[in-house]
Amino acid sequence: MRKDLISMEDLEKNEIQEYLTMAEKVEAMPLEERVKLLPGRIMAAMFFEPSTRTRLSFESAMHRLGGSVIGFAAKDATSVAKGESFTDTIHTVESYSDILVIRHPGEGTARLAAQESYLPVINAGDGANQHPTQTLLDLYTIRKDLGKIEGLKVAFVGDLKYSRTVHSLIRALMKFNVTDFTLVAPETLRLPEYFMHSDEPGRFRFHETERIEVAIQECDVLYMTRIQRERFPDLVEYEKVKDSYVLTAEMLSEAKDHLRVLHPLPRVNEIAYDVDNTKFAGYFPQARNGVIMRQAILLKHLGVTL
Ligand code: NCD
């Protein structure tokens, strides 16, 4: 059993399936049973970057398992603002809790924390690198909504260069025999080449286009992303691409009947509000699945079996 959850690159397919099975078991359990599972256990939520869903769904997940939560939602409220180092912060908080959930703008920080700490460390997003708990809930949502993951055609739209949610999910989908990807991004925000490489040349097809219409017609899952202002070294570049793609209800008239539009959220304006009332909108149920998957993750990494 792995101590930490840091990157989808680390996980074999069967390990990913264990999280999905655990989440199914959690969801089937009545709330009054779930709340007996982690009494007296403490989760530390250490958020060095803004968050609504990831932090609050982790906190809700822990409370609803009967555990409790300590933590911070911004580094300004901690001794980091006084100059304390990241590793000293980890060594302090580890003596107050049983599991560390960490979000940080620096790539590789979750791995560093995992090496430093004897506690389980869960990566809640490290810069533009990885966001494995989001990927697990995305996979859970896709399987629930479409009945399977294998063989689906998946399109990613928006900021494919900096989106850690995309980087994590593509890697996981490749392990689930998803071989057909459509990538819709402005030239400056294309998916880094590295993600398209595999040990089996020719097995995976990446169709890169700047036209979202192509993705809408062909795909089973349309994974929208926000253009992430905070990741741009130069804000002039952000201004040039910020409104590149805006999905509207009308554009979806060409979609397959079962198409699901997913988004890790927050949206800025890449999905028009009129999409919310269509049968294609899957992003709010996706966010709700966050609590279930994060309960599964907390249980697994705190050694509880169901
Ligand atoms: C994403 C993130 O933080 O990477 N949000 C999330 O966790 N649901 C995506 C984003 O911020 O655009």
Dist. CA 120–CA 154, nearest whole Å: 32
- The length of the chain is 306
Q: What is the pLDDT of residue 81?
A: 87
Domain boundaries, the chain: 8-130+288-301, 132-284
Determine the 3-state secondary structure of 225 from DSSP.
Answer: coil
**Inter-residue contact 9 to 124 (CB < 8 Å):** no
**Inter-residue contact 191 to 183 (CB < 8 Å):** yes
Chain-centroid distance of CA 151 in Å reads 21
Q: Which residues have C-beta atoms less than 6 Å from ligand 1?
A: 53-54, 125, 131, 134, 164-165, 226, 228, 264-265
- Indicate the CATH number for domain 132-284: 3.40.50.1370
The pTM of this model reads 0.97
- Centre of ligand 1 to C-alpha 125, Å, is 8
Structure confidence by residue, pLDDT tens digits, 100-118: 999 999 999 999 999 999 9
Dist. CA 187–CA 155, nearest whole Å: 16
- Centre of ligand 1 to C-alpha 265, Å, is 6
Which ligand 1 atom lies nearest to the CA of residue 228? 12
**Inter-residue contact 162 to 127 (CB < 8 Å):** no
Structure confidence by residue, pLDDT tens digits, 249-272: 999 999 999 999 999 999 999 999
Q: What is the pLDDT of residue 199?
A: 86
Residue nearest (by alpha carbon) to ligand 1 atom 11: 266
Q: Do domains 8-130+288-301 and 132-284 have the same CATH topology?
A: yes
Known binding positions for carbamoyl phosphate: 53-54, 103, 131, 134, 265-266
In the predicted model, residues of the chain with pLDDT beneath 50 are none
- Indicate the CATH number for domain 8-130+288-301: 3.40.50.1370
Q: What is the pLDDT of residue 77?
A: 85
List 206's β-bridge partners, or say none. 181
**Inter-residue contact 98 to 71 (CB < 8 Å):** no
